[in-house]
């Protein structure tokens, strides 16, 4: 057998004699069940698909690096942010939200912006979107919200009645809906949009002092959006337009980059700020908390294999590293459970040992077994703790920073309920053309809604945000 030419094998490594013809009784006879190569090919083929992500199913990924350009170790002890010039490898996955795995890229939808930093202290996942806020501010509403974004249970069609019924009954959604209906609802490419951590997070420095932060990835390609007609055309002609753009750009060495900045809020300000800083439907004014540069993210390598690196990538907002911790943001709190739970279901209990998810930091723990345990499962090392056999020990200096909690346990909403100032301010910040396109997009999206009471309820929200905006939409809908 020639040494350089690879020979075809079965999954158990045995050479395959014939990959063109099944084993049959004579040239016309029935197929023999002993044709184990045939059986394996057909059976494995039936098992090639893993469940798609229940949201953010359609996406594209790339490898790159993050480089620190501003030392913020006064605020966080996170090692990958500690010294200017420090580089950390990363993987990012961009995505749409509502569509299935085969759906079009150029739809009106937020875009996922999920970054995995392979830091020396473990992986840090910043699982954000291309928008600084979100539609809701309590995780308990998320399954219902996503149901309205998906298909009607009977017709299996998208259902604008559900979409606007939910939004008109959830006024906290108005800010994000305004962003979604604006030009930024359809980015020109994944490269020409900003990214945000959206939530408030906590940074802790080496002295245990905490501040609140919000992350902003500012695209260095400039923000560009797609014209609505062109987006609809592309959705039909090339549903993978954004996926293709990202791959081709990196392939030809046109490496996209973002500047990472943070807003930093002193810990005590959270008790007096005019909006609840943990309410993810609100932004912090950049006048109050200006952007501070942290570093730069550059994407410079395409995946070798889509399924291995993009489909199997698993991100969790709960993958914290020392120096970065949770805030009480109710949406973030819900996500701390949901993501790893989704990964255990979709990819498997040992998803973090897959190459794309495996930390570059050494993993030492007492987790054993579980399906598809691809490493040596801890070998013969001690498999419980505490123990007298020099097993891995905890690092008390990296305990979660203690913080005070107050109030009685209750099912209760945030007590800041001004859902109109920020969307109204956003509208008033827009140019006349942007305002006109916003109104056109809203009218186009709301026109198919059957129930007039839903339309009127939503118009009332727009009117409270800005009287002119509300009037223009009512005129456009003939109400």
- What positions carry a catalytic annotation? 56, 129
Task: Say which residues have a Cβ less than 8 Å from residue 220's Cβ, sequence separation at least 6.
Answer: 256, 257, 258, 259, 296
Query: What tokens appear for 6 in the block?
Result: 């690879």
What b/e readout covers 209-236, taking b as 16+ CB neighbours within 10 angstroms? ebbbbbbbbbbebeeebbebeebbebbe
Q: Which is nearer to ligand HDE, 183 or 329 (CB)?
A: 329
Task: Say which residues have a Cβ less than 8 Å from residue 246's Cβ, sequence separation at least 6.
Answer: 60, 62, 94, 189, 190, 191, 256, 299
Residue 198 found at the interface with ligand HDE (CB under 6 A): yes
Q: Which is nearer to ligand HDE, 1 or 412 (CB)?
A: 412
Stretch that binds ligand HDE, among 8-16, 22-30, 126-134, 377-385 (CB under 6 A): 126-134
The upper half-sphere exposure of residue 23, i.e. CA atoms within 13 Å in the direction of its Cβ, equals 11
Task: Say which residues have a Cβ less than 8 Å from residue 313's Cβ, sequence separation at least 6.
Answer: 61, 91, 93, 114, 116, 356, 357
Stretch that binds ligand HDE, among 122-130, 202-210, 298-306, 470-478 (CB under 6 A): 122-130
Could you tell me which of 184, 59, 191 has the C-alpha nearest to residue 133? 184
- Tell me how far, at minimum, the Cβ of 464 lies from ligand HDE, in Å: 24
Residue 95 found at the interface with ligand HDE (CB under 6 A): yes
Q: Are 91 and 61 in contact (CB under 8 A)?
A: yes
Stretch that binds ligand HDE, among 125-133, 385-393, 434-442, 449-457 (CB under 6 A): 125-133
Q: Which is nearer to ligand HDE, 349 or 430 (CB)?
A: 349
Judged by CB under 6 A, which of 134, 164, 166, 215 binds ligand HDE? 134
Q: What are phi and psi of 233, to 5 degrees?
A: -65, -45
| Residues 47-76 within binding reach of ligand HDE (CB under 6 A) | 53-56, 59
Judged by CB under 6 A, which of 160, 318, 334, 392 binds ligand HDE? 334
Residue 342 found at the interface with ligand HDE (CB under 6 A): yes
User: By three-state DSSP, how is residue 87 classified?
Assistant: strand
User: By three-state DSSP, how is residue 192 classified?
Assistant: helix
Stretch (H or E) spanning 343: helix 330-346
- Contact letters (x/-) for ligand HDE, 4-33, by CB under 6 A? ------------------------------
Residues in the chain: 479
Query: What tokens appear for 39 in the block?
Result: 């059986």
- Tell me how far, at minimum, the Cβ of 338 lies from ligand HDE, in Å: 4
Residue 445 found at the interface with ligand HDE (CB under 6 A): no
Stretch that binds ligand HDE, among 5-13, 339-347, 361-369, 383-391 (CB under 6 A): 339-347
Residues paired with residue 94 on neighbouring β-strands, in sequence order = 60, 113
Residue 472 found at the interface with ligand HDE (CB under 6 A): no
Residue with the closest Cβ to ligand HDE?
Answer: 112
Judged by CB under 6 A, which of 315, 320, 427, 462 binds ligand HDE? 315
Interface residues toward ligand HDE, by CB under 6 A: 53-56, 59, 93, 95, 112, 114, 127-129, 134, 139, 142, 198, 280, 313, 315, 331, 334-335, 338-339, 342-343
């Amino acid at each position: 057998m020639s040494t350089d030419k690879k020979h075809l094998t079965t999954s158990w490594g045995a050479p395959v004699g014939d990959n063109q013809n099944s084993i049959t009784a004579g040239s016309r006879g029935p197929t023999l069940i002993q044709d184990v190569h045939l059986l394996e090919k057909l059976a494995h083929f039936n098992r090639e698909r893993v469940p798609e992500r229940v949201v953010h199913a359609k996406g594209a990924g790339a490898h790159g690096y993050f480089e620190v350009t501003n030392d913020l170790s006064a605020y966080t002890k996170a090692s990958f942010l500690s010294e200017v010039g420090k580089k950390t490898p990363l993987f990012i996955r961009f995505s749409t939200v509502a569509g299935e795995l085969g759906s079009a890229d150029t739809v009106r939808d937020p875009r996922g912006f999920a970054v995995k930093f392979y830091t020396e202290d473990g992986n840090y996942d910043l699982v954000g979107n291309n928008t600084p806020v979100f539609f809701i501010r309590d995780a308990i509403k998320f399954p219902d919200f996503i149901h309205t974004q998906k298909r009607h249970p009977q017709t299996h069609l998208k259902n604008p009645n559900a979409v606007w019924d939910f939004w008109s009954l959830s006024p906290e959604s108005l800010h994000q809906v305004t962003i979604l209906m604006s030009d930024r609802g359809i980015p020109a490419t994944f490269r020409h949009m900003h990214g945000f951590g959206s939530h408030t997070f906590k940074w802790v420095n080496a002295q245990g002092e905490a501040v609140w932060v919000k992350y902003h990835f500012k695209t260095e390609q400039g923000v560009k959006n797609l014209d609505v007609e062109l987006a609809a055309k592309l959705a039909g002609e090339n549903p993978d337009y954004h996926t293709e753009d990202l791959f081709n750009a990196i392939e030809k060495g046109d490496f996209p980059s973002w500047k990472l900045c943070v807003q930093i809020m002193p810990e005590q300000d959270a008790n007096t700020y005019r909006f609840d800083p943990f309410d993810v439907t609100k932004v912090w004014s950049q006048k109050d908390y200006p952007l501070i540069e942290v570093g730069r993210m550059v994407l410079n390598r395409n995946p070798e294999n889509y399924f291995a690196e993009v489909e199997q990538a698993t991100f969790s907002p709960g993958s914290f590293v020392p120096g970065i911790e949770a805030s009480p943001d109710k949406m973030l709190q819900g996500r701390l459970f949901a993501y790893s739970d989704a990964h255990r279901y979709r990819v498997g209990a040992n998803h973090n040992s897959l190459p794309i998810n495996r930390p570059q930091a050494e993993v030492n723990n007492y987790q054993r077994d579980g399906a598809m345990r691809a490493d040596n499962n801890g070998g013969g090392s001690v498999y419980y703790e505490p123990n007298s056999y020099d097993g891995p020990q905890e690092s008390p200096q990296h305990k979660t920073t203690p913080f005070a909690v107050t109030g009685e346990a209750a099912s209760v909403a945030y007590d800041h309920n001004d859902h109109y100032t920020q969307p109204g301010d956003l509208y008033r910040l827009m140019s006349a053309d942007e305002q006109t396109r916003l109104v056109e997009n809203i009218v186009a999206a709301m026109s198919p809604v059957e129930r007039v009471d839903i339309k009127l309820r939503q118009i009332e929200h727009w009117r409270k945000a800005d009287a002119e905006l509300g009037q223009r939409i009512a005129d456009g809908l003939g109400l």
